Amino acid sequence: MPPQLKAMLARLQAYVAGFSTAQKTIAIIGVAGLVLGGIALTSWLGKPTMAPLFSGLQAADASKVTDQLKTDGVQFELTDGGATIMVPQDQVYAERIKAAAAGLPSSKSNTGYSLLDNMGVTSSEFQQNVTYQRAMEGELANTIGAMDGVKLATVKLAIPKDSVFTATKADPKASVFVETNPGTTLTADQVQAIVHLTSASIDGLTPANVSVVDSSGNTLSAVGVGTVGGASKQAGDYEKTTTGNIQAMLDRVLGPGNATVAVSADMDPQSGTKVDETFTQPTSAPALSETNDKQSYTGTGGPAAGVLGPDNIAVPGGSASGSAGSGGNGTYTSDKSTKDNAVNKTTQTTNIPAGVLKRQTVSVAVNSAYTGANLNQIQNLVSSAAGINTARGDVVTVENVAFDQTAAKNAQAALAQAKADADAKAAMELWKNILIAAAVLLAAVLALFLYARKNRRQSRELVDLGERLEPTVALPAPETVALSVPAMPVREVVPMELPPLPEEDIDTQQKRAQIEALAAGDPDRTASFLRGMMDDRASV
């Protein structure tokens, strides 16, 4: 080992040996933190940037793709429950090309309109219809599966055959199976979006004939009913909105806490279609068609016909229809007119959705402790705000009652206690942080103090203040130097032996030898020079 390196290691070992226990602990923790940080930084810098290769894969396709990646020696990661495969970003396109050449992923290539690409010329009409229906189902499933939160979707269509008898024609229906991501629940708006997307894609399919079921077996939308809970949800939303509006109005009029409102709404869960036909006669419009039929007969007849009497005996000379004369002569005249006038016909078809308000009741309780409340005025305000329709059966009730303040007082006390506990906890956390900061600061100050004291102790050097006549090391006599120094009396000085010094480098030993030689040649001047240096250092 080179002498310089050996001397450096010796000084470092002597420096570390002077550390206290606290300094050693801090030094070890710092070195360990630096080592761990370096390892983590190196690992993070050496990790490649990952990008998705495929997403939304089935288990079979994911297995085949990972087998190909293992064969190619490509690093990969599985996320989203194994449905997404991540690979290094610089290898995404190359691996996609290889997967496409191998026909992967195969589950996506056999759905949708791609099924029509494999149909032959000799396919029967039944095969064509079934393949087209499967293609429609696959396209709808892929579209629904692209929605946020949907992991897998399957669509089944029930399309009846075309018939010339319109009275016996059935409506198409559809059922949708949805599997969501873990921890995800479809909202009512998302279910409505799936229903309307499916119904709008098939000719003649209405939203009421679409059923949606999730992987847990819950019916999200039923045929003929619509979204399950739709009417109740609409009723709840209506009640919440109406209650909020009325409560806000009463709080401004009577003050907060002086009135409470309860709204109950009855919604019709059934949907239907209403057809109205109206006929009106246009004014000043010509007839569409007009027919006139006129007949007239004149001639002689037999004996004059009479009128039957009470006993069914003809009365001679009685009058008969057709203007018969006494001699049997008569005439017949017939005049008939038919006119077809224009008529206006108006047909109006109305689709009645589920959730129509059938009846509502509003109850308002006013605190009896509040003076100056006009119940009739409050009832009129509430009726106008809620849109009360008495013909529909709506009812508004306003009563002046005494409020129970026990719950309010308990709630206020609980809030005060909770606030006090929160303040106490916050104060405890603050003092805890202050104590931790003070301990850390005290440890840092103590470490700096010990470090400074150690450095000050190590910076001190042993100085020989006594004069000696002979050097402790035999060196060649220095060259004679002419100095104009006045003669001083020589006094006998007992030489002092210097303590053994640690191993030093050659340069330091040479300088020390020169100083000792100078002290041996002129000890008095050297001692005076050293005293001046010590006096200057002490003043600082």
pLDDT tens-digit series, residues 180-237: 888 888 888 889 899 999 999 988 888 888 999 998 888 888 876 666 555 677 788 8
Q: Indicate if the pLDDT at residue 263 is higher than 90.
A: yes
pLDDT at 245: 92
Between 8-12, 92-96, 398-402, 498-502, the lowest mean confidence (pLDDT) is in 498-502
What are the backbone dihedrals phi and psi of residue 214, each rounded to the nearest 5 degrees, phi first? -95, 180
Q: What is the pLDDT of residue 472?
A: 47
* Residue 329 confidence class, pLDDT cut points 50, 70, 90: low
What mean pLDDT do residues 278-302 have?
A: 78
The pLDDT, as a whole number, for residue 262 is 93
Residue 328's pLDDT is 54
Percent of the chain with pLDDT over 90: 14
Burial of 495: CB neighbours in 10 Å, binned 0-12, 13-18, 19+: middle
- Tell me the per-residue pLDDT of 339-348, one tens digit each, with 9 for 90 and over: 887 788 888 8
What letter would DSSP give residue 209? G
Check if the beta carbon of residue 468 is closer than 8 Å to that of residue 523: yes
pLDDT band at 99 (very low <50, low <70, confident <90, very high): confident
Name the least confident of 160-164, 416-420, 443-447, 464-468.
Answer: 464-468
Task: Give the sign of the dihedral formed by CA 188, CA 194, CA 198, CA 200.
Answer: positive
Average pLDDT over residues 474-502: 49
User: What pLDDT, on the 0 to 100 scale, is given for residue 220?
Assistant: 86
Q: Is 469 a residue whose pLDDT tops 50?
A: no
Q: How confident is the model at residue 98 (pLDDT cuts 50, 70, 90)?
A: confident
Dihedral (Cα; 428, 430, 432, 434), 10-degree rounding:
-150
Q: Are 473 and 45 in contact (CB under 8 A)?
A: no
- Give the model's confidence band at 475: pLDDT under 50 very low, under 70 low, under 90 confident, else very high: very low
Average pLDDT over all residues of the chain: 78
Task: Give the pLDDT score at 248.
Answer: 93
Q: What are the phi and psi torsion angles at 20 (to 5°)?
A: -80, 180
Report pLDDT digits (tens) over 347-396.
Answer: 888 777 667 788 999 999 998 888 878 889 999 999 999 999 999 899 99
pLDDT over 70 (residue 400) = yes
Q: Is it the case that residue 500 has pLDDT exceeding 70? A: no
Higher pLDDT, 92 or 103: 92
Say which range, 251-260, 335-344, 478-487, has the weakest mean pLDDT.
478-487
What sign results for the dihedral spanned by CA atoms 443, 444, 449, 455? positive
| Whether residue 10 has pLDDT greater than 90 | no
Does pLDDT of 138 surpass 50?
A: yes
Task: Work out the average pLDDT over 59-70.
Answer: 86
Q: Which of 142, 147, 115, 117 is nearest to 130 (CA)?
A: 115
pTM for this model (two decimals):
0.41
pLDDT at 505 exceeding the cut of 70: no
User: Over 70: is that where the pLDDT of 310 sits?
Assistant: no
Q: What is the DSSP string of 266-302?
A: EEE---EEEEEEEEEPPTT---SEEEEEEEEEEEE-S
Gap between the terminal Cα atoms of the chain: 41
Residue 481: its pLDDT value, please? 44
Give the range among 273-277, 435-439, 532-536 with minimum mean pLDDT. 532-536
Q: Which of 87-96, 204-213, 270-279, 433-442 has the lowest mean pLDDT?
A: 270-279
pLDDT-derived band at 300, boundaries 50, 70, 90 = low
Rounded average pLDDT over 472-491: 48
pLDDT higher than 90, residue 2: no
Q: How far is CA 11 from the centre of its chain?
A: 62
- Mean pLDDT across 47-73: 84
Q: Find the mean pLDDT for residues 327-334.
A: 69
* Range 494-510 average pLDDT: 57
